Structure 1
Amino acid sequence: MAIINNALSGALAAQVALTTSSHNIANLQTKGYTRQAALLTAVGPDANPRSPGNGVQVSSLLRFSDNYKSQAMWRAAADLGAYSQTQPYLSQLENVMGDETASLSAGIDQFFGALNAVAGDPGSTPLRQQVLTSAGLMAERFNGLNNVFNAQLQSVRNQRSAIVDSANAQIATIARLNQQISQAQAGGLSSSSLIDARDQAIDELASKMALEVSDNGDGTRDISLKTGQSLVLGGMHGSLKAAPTATSPQEFSLSFAGTTYVLDAVKLGGQLGGLAKYEAEKLVPLQTGIADIARQMADKVNTQLGLGRKPDGSVGSPLFVYTPGSNADMLKVVDGFVANDLAFSADGTPGDTGNLQKLLGIKSESITVTSIGPVLLSDADAQLVGKLGVDSQLNKAALKTTQTVRTQSVDDWQSTSGVNQDEEAVNLVEYQNMYQANMKVIAIANQLFDATLAMMG
């Protein structure tokens, strides 16, 4: 009977091992699946001194997982999320601001070109009208670009709100899976599929914000922001919120266990941190810089026109209206302004262009632009576009690096936790041979048993 019991235990163990390999192969293409294996342990002998042992048993199912590799994969996901969310916005601004047919530099050049053209015949109504036309077209370029900035601001904020909603769903999922894993392990049940689902949720959450993950003895995992605030503690979880306040167009907060924490979105990392950093350090300063150019140029032109004389000898009037923070027309030509309102004369003498020459000199005057400092008016837009190009190239380089790191970290995780088709094929053959060998032992044991009965009969 000992022979049969040993062989039976071997056959049953081989069945469990075959079932485990078949499960691995079935999940060959399942994202986030961690391969398993049956851990076989010899069953020791009983009190009989001539007993070699009592076969084999499956003591547990091994789950091939390396916490260090998982952590590296999640950190790479956060870095990739930050740079990948920023690049489309940078590329859009590069295309818009770098387009010669729509660039501010071209508009400014055309405006001062029209002023220069009228210098040869300051009394020409068509040439004066061309100045007004080019002034209006230049203003439209400022307004169009400002509309692009406003659209990006709205898009960034809407996107962050959507990311927060998705993150809250994943945070709640992780907490729920923590409870299920703890209960399964307490009951001696396999929790591998639950752990896979939880790790997948953590990976998705990590792309949205940088995380710190720690393991507990009951199988649960605690999740916190890299700034220290807890998102998940065992089965408890917090909730993120992004909403406008009196002091911020979109303030981030975290509510956990009845306490609310205000978060610095720039420090969150991941997609949320990347978008917040882009808004605070790139988009808003760039929009402010363009507004600086529009405001200071309008002030200089209006001031100089006010020092000149119109053809009828009256004092000049402002050409531009600048409206700060406008979602519509940031810069426009004064309503009702006509060609003869242009005060090109310095003293009212017909044909005098003294004030016109000073207007032309404005292009070479210095203005102060946010993020780049003092710069000539003629160079301001080009320098902003150049800085934008540098920022975009740096982000592209960082994005390429983080994509490589993420790919390598996923491959590294896959080398440990992923299913290897060739390895599982070998396992199937080995466990099949093990099963057949044990069944052969059972058959031999039956023959011996029958022979023994025949001898005794």
Structure 2
Amino acid sequence: MRMIQNALSGAIAAQAALNTVSQNLSNEMTPGYSRQGVLLSTLVPGAGDRLGAGMGVDVTAIRRFSDSYKNLQMWQAAAGQGELAAAQPYFAQLEQVMGSDGTSLSGGLDKFYSALNAASVEPSSVPLRQQVISEADALARRFNNLNGVFATQQASLNEQRTATLAQINTITQSIAALNGKVAEADAVGTNASGLLDERDRQIDALAALVDVRVSQQPDGSLSVTLRGGQPLVIGNAAATLAAQGNVNGTQTMTLQFAKERFTLPNDNLGGQLGGLNQYQSAVLQPMTDAVRTLAGELAMRTNTQLASGFDLNGQAGAALFAFDAASASGMLQVTAIQAEQLGFSSDPAKPANSDNLLALIAIKDQTIAMAGLGNVTISDAYAQLTGHLAIDSQQNKAGLETASVVRGEAEKNWKSTSGVNSDEEAINLVEFQKMYQANMKVIAVANQLFDSTLAIF
């Protein structure tokens, strides 16, 4: 009977819907799970069936609720958050070191020039001269300690960048493999929702590491590229990223896809990788160069001024500092100078003369050219460097807080479409249960009518 056929199709459709609801509820807490739902369509009567109401109902497909635009918003938010989060620990460490009284170059410079001022009262005093050498040595250690922090951060950046590239390679290979599985599932008509969810999760993880552009292909696969268009995943093929060390301690990144090799820029990458590169190029390297410039200028001007004066023996003053920009641990050193060899006097016959010593003290008010700061005095250079770092650090911190809010809103927006709503699923559970029971009731009624018809005969 037609009734039984219709009711049977309805019961099968209700059962499919109940299976879908149960899948949604069981994955309510699964990260990245996109809820599913059944698409139902009526089966129309055949040709010439003038009195037929229809042939029942059919489950056209199991629909996965996903919005590509909301996915894109979430991935871009992940890239922005990852970029700022990667740099924040380095900002915090460097700001703490440069602002500490025990490691501040401003404190060391003040003590060094205070010792010179004290010596100007009695230029021939050996103990006062020795104090100048001691403070010069303490200042040099401050320079070297700070330069060591720069070198440590550079090494840490290189290690973290190498680890990030390895993560990117692992994820892109996983996305490429999932592309192949999705294409196979689509070809044989299998529900690929689970594969699509996993692929979206992998892309989200990838976006936190490097900003990507994603495009849908006709076979169901996704193509993933960098901002600059360099391919990461095309179909079931994935690129390989690597880093090569340079002489100056930095790294050059390359991307190998098939037979093509690309050299990646250090900027405009986004994500954690972009954040590491941005901190290195815009903060760490300029700061390192500035401190080396300050150390070099201080050493050169101090030594030049001392050489123009005379020591206690009437000889030309010896050099106080030795500067080596290439040394990570001993960039600035105090020479083996003796207290008597400091050329404080401008007259070889008057060792107690302090004219050259006063000129030496005046060096702190001389200007030097520093990248990013312009012309600044030696005594003020470090304070300005610390101030610029504090501003950059605060901007990064504020940007990270904003990016975290944007990411949270993007996740909420995604959940409004793809997330499982337990209340909504509970309603669907009841409604489809009623649908199933109603159709089974129709089958029971149809059987009774059939039995009654048989009884007549």
Q: What is the TM-score when the length of structure 1 is the normalising length?
A: 0.97
Aligned residue for 2:80? Answer: 79
1:293 corresponds in structure 2 to 294
AA matched with 1:382? A
- Which residue does the alignment assign to 2:6? 6
Q: In the alignment, what sits opposite 2:33?
A: 33
Match of 2:16 in 1: 16
1:373 and 1:306 mapped to 2: Cα distance?
28
Structure 2 letter corresponding to 1:387: H
Q: Counterpart of 1:361? A: 362
Query: Per the alignment, in what secondary structure is the counterpart of residue 352 of structure 1?
Result: coil
Give the CA deviation at 1:234. 1.1
| C-alpha distance in 2 between matches for 1:350 and 1:305 | 13
CA positional deviation for 1:405 = 1.4
1:31 deviates by 0.9
Tell me the equivalent position of 2:276: 275
Structure-2 separation of matches of 1:309 and 1:2: 119
Structure 2 residue matching 1:295: 3-state secondary structure? helix
**C-alpha deviation, 1:212, in angstroms:** 1.1
Partner AA of 1:128 in structure 2:
R
Query: What amino acid does structure 1 have at the position aligned with 2:62?
Result: L
Q: In structure 1, what is the equivalent of residue 304 of structure 2?
A: 303
Q: 1:422 aligns to what?
A: 423
What RMSD over aligned residues (CA atoms) do the two structures have, in Å?
A: 1.3
1:28-62 per-position Cα deviation (integer Å, ceiling 9, x unaligned): 11111111001111111134322111111111001
SS at match of 2:164: helix
Per the TM alignment, residue 397 of structure 1 is displaced from its structure 2 partner at its CA by 2.0
Higher mean C-alpha deviation, range 9-18 or range 346-355: 346-355
**What is the distance in 2 between the residues matched to 1:250 and 1:160?**
9
1:54-453 map, 5 Å: 54-245=55-246, 249-334=250-335, 336-348=336-348, 349-453=350-454
1:328-384 CA distance string (max 9 Å, x none): 1110100x2222121211113132111111111111111122221210111000000
Q: Is contact 2:154-2:249 (8 Å) kept?
A: no
CA distance in 1, matches of 2:248, 2:283: 20
> How many angstroms apart in 2 are the aligned matches of 1:96 and 1:247?
23
Unaligned residue ranges in structure 1 (runs of 5+): none
Query: Is the alpha carbon distance of 1:355 and 1:135 closer, same or farther for their aligned partners in structure 2, counting shifts above 3 Å?
Result: same
Change (3 A) 1:362 1:246: closer
Alpha-carbon separation, structure 2, partners of 1:121 and 1:343: 14
SS at match of 2:199: helix
1:247 and 1:367 map into 2 onto residues whose CA distance is 24
Deviations for 1:154-199, whole angstroms, at most 9, x for unmatched residues?
A: 1111101100000011111111111110010010101111111111
Q: What is the CA-CA distance between 1:325 and the residue it aligns to?
A: 2.1
Contact 1:320 1:331 in 2 (8 A): yes
Report deviation, 1:108: 0.3
The separation in 1 between residues aligned to 2:40 and 2:226, in whole angstroms, is 40
Given that residues 175 and 234 in structure 1 are in contact (C-alpha distance below 8 angstroms), is that contact kept between their aligned partners in structure 2? yes
| 1:96-119 CA distance string (max 9 Å, x none) | 101122200000000000111111
| CA gap 1:411/1:440 in 2 versus in 1, 3 angstroms | same
Q: Which amino acid is 1:85 matched to?
A: A
Range that drifts further, 156-165 or 397-406 = 397-406
Letter of the aligned partner of 2:294 in structure 1?
I
Distance in 1 (CA, whole Å) between partners of 2:75 and 2:422 is: 25
SS in 2 for 1:242: strand
Runs of 5+ consecutive residues of structure 2 not aligned to the other structure: none
Taking structure 2 as the reference length, the TM-score comes to 0.97
3-state DSSP of counterpart to 2:243: strand
Whether the 8 Å CA contact 2:311–2:351 is kept in 1: the answer is no
Deviating runs (4+, > 4 A) in structure 1? 245-248
Letter in 2 for 1:243: Q
Letter matched to residue 350 of structure 1: P
In the alignment, the residues of structure 2 paired with residue 300 and residue 322 of structure 1 have an alpha-carbon distance, to the nearest angstrom, of 12
